[in-house]
């Protein structure tokens, strides 16, 4: 069996979590899969997979070799695709991840337009308010808000969003406008866990971090719930600027404590470097980057530090 086929089998075992799963995926016998792994480990002189009766997982050596295998196989796949496919008509399945509200408002319309422009690309859109792991979850492109920690991704800066504190005019008229974050302890608050800790919100005081204790009347894990509660006068809340933009424009919410506003959070488009030459990824990145950079709610893009690879 050739080396590339052994690599493909090894990757399939890890991805499927079993020898039988890899055999099903590649239309091989379980014995053929087992022989391929034995041959591979024998040639490399090390154990790549730790087997038990219930599970199969890569060893430390296997984890390192897995990434090398993925790079080799992806390079071959992309090379074949670039030769066989029309560069103006990308093909394949594209998996895109974005935060829920940001995705609904700004990413979904672009995905829809992209799908209409490139009919041979199937799209899997995942909207989730959590950090997706591109390699582990098979995500091609991710929109992310916040500082990046990924070591294996390429990040394209799109702009910045601000974390601001909001309340309904009716609430402020009834209970007063806080002049300092420490006064929040005497106010009704709605803590949105996607932006702030439930019992402590963070502000900035002349460049220094300023934590402020709060006693929330309500704790929610969805931005629309926090927006609605604040707009209806339940209490003061912290949100990212784009999340509250429609309500601010309609004067249902107004920003308070603006002189204590924390540092802005970067908005980035991420993709995996080793797959950056993929036609479908390149087409999508080029399609959405310029539009998102012009989004009025990300207008601080000029102040963003230009990021390359991490």
The angle, 0 to 180 degrees and rounded to 10, between the axes of the packed helices 241-249 and 223-231 is 30
Based on the fold, state whether residues 17 and 145 are members of the same structural domain. no
Q: What is the pLDDT of residue 272?
A: 74
Based on the fold, state whether residues 108 and 120 are members of the same structural domain. yes
**266 close to 160: Cβ distance less than 8 angstroms:** yes
Residue 309 lies in a domain: no
Residue 308 lies in a domain: no
Region 125-130: mean pLDDT is 86
| Of the listed ranges 178-192, 228-242, 278-292, the one predicted with least confidence | 278-292
Based on the fold, state whether residues 149 and 272 are members of the same structural domain. yes
Confidence of residue 280 (pLDDT cuts 50, 70, 90): confident
Give the closest residue to 136 by CA, choosing from 272, 298, 292, 270: 272
Region 272-301: mean pLDDT is 77
Q: What is the pLDDT of residue 83?
A: 60
**Domain end position, chosen among 50, 84, 118:** 84
CATH of residue 71's domain is: 1.10.10.10
Residue 223 lies in a domain: yes
Has residue 84 got a pLDDT over 70? no
Q: What is the pLDDT of residue 251?
A: 96
Based on the fold, state whether residues 254 and 171 are members of the same structural domain. yes
**Domain end position, chosen among 84, 110, 144:** 84
pLDDT: which is higher, 90 or 242:
242
Has residue 310 got a pLDDT over 50? no
Residue 196 lies in a domain: yes
Q: How many domains does the chain have?
A: 3
Confidence of residue 23 (pLDDT cuts 50, 70, 90): very high
Confidence of residue 82 (pLDDT cuts 50, 70, 90): low
Residue 108 lies in a domain: yes
Residue 200 lies in a domain: yes
**175 close to 234: Cβ distance less than 8 angstroms:** no
Based on the fold, state whether residues 122 and 172 are members of the same structural domain. no
Q: What is the pLDDT of residue 165?
A: 97
Ranked by mean pLDDT, the top range of 29-33, 69-73, 253-257, 286-290 is 253-257
| Domain assignment of residue 215, given as a range | 163-260
Residue 172 lies in a domain: yes
Confidence of residue 89 (pLDDT cuts 50, 70, 90): confident
Based on the fold, state whether residues 113 and 25 are members of the same structural domain. no
Based on the fold, state whether residues 272 and 212 are members of the same structural domain. no
CATH of residue 240's domain is: 3.40.190.290
Residue 185 lies in a domain: yes
Confidence of residue 1 (pLDDT cuts 50, 70, 90): low
Has residue 155 got a pLDDT over 70? yes
* pLDDT (tens digit per residue) in 217-259: 999 998 999 999 999 999 999 999 999 999 999 999 999 999 9
Based on the fold, state whether residues 135 and 176 are members of the same structural domain. no
**Domain end position, chosen among 38, 68, 84:** 84
Region 72-87: mean pLDDT is 69
pLDDT: which is higher, 281 or 202:
202
Based on the fold, state whether residues 279 and 148 are members of the same structural domain. yes
Based on the fold, state whether residues 56 and 97 are members of the same structural domain. no
Residue 250 CA to residue 230 CA, distance in Å, equals: 14
Share of the chain above pLDDT 70, in %: 89
Region 291-298: mean pLDDT is 88
Confidence of residue 292 (pLDDT cuts 50, 70, 90): very high
Q: What is the pTM of this model?
A: 0.64
Which residues, 6+ apart, have CB-to-CB distance to 173 below 8 Å?
A: none
Residue 105 CA to residue 242 CA, distance in Å, equals: 9
Rounded to 5 degrees, what angle do the CA atoms 90, 92, 97 make? 100
pLDDT: which is higher, 300 or 307:
300
Based on the fold, state whether residues 112 and 142 are members of the same structural domain. yes
CATH of residue 102's domain is: 3.40.190.10
Based on the fold, state whether residues 58 and 196 are members of the same structural domain. no
């Amino acid at each position: 069996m050739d080396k590339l086929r052994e690599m493909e089998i090894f990757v399939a075992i890890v991805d499927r979590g079993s020898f039988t799963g890899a055999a099903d995926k590649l239309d091989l016998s379980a014995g053929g899969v087992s022989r391929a792994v034995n041959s591979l480990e024998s040639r490399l002189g090390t154990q790549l997979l730790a087997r038990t009766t219930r599970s199969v997982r890569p060893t430390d050596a296997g984890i390192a070799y897995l990434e090398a295998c993925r790079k080799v196989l992806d390079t071959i796949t992309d090379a074949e695709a670039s030769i066989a496919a029309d560069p103006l008509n990308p093909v394949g399945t594209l998996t895109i991840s974005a935060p829920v509200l940001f995705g609904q408002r700004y990413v979904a319309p672009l995905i829809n337009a992209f799908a209409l422009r490139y009919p041979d690309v199937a799209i899997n859109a995942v909207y989730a308010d959590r950090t997706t792991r591109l390699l582990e979850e098979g995500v091609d492109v991710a929109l992310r808000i916040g500082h990046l920690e990924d070591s294996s991704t390429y990040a394209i800066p799109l702009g910045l969003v601000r974390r601001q504190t909001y309340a309904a005019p009716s609430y402020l008229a009834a209970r007063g406008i806080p002049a300092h974050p420490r006064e929040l302890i005497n106010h009704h608050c709605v803590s949105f866990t996607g932006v702030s800790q439930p019992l402590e919100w963070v502000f900035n005081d002349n460049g220094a971090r300023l934590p402020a204790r709060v006693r929330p009347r309500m704790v929610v894990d969805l931005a629309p719930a926090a927006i609605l509660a604040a707009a209806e006068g339940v209490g003061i809340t912290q949100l990212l600027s784009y999340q509250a933009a429609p309500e601010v424009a309609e004067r249902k919410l107004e920003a308070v404590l603006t002189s204590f506003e924390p540092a802005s959070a970067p908005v980035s488009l991420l993709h995996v470097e080793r797959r950056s030459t993929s036609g479908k990824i390149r087409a999508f990145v080029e399609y959405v980057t310029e539009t998102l950079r012009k989004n009025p709610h990300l207008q601080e893009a000029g102040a963003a530090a230009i990021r390359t690879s991490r």
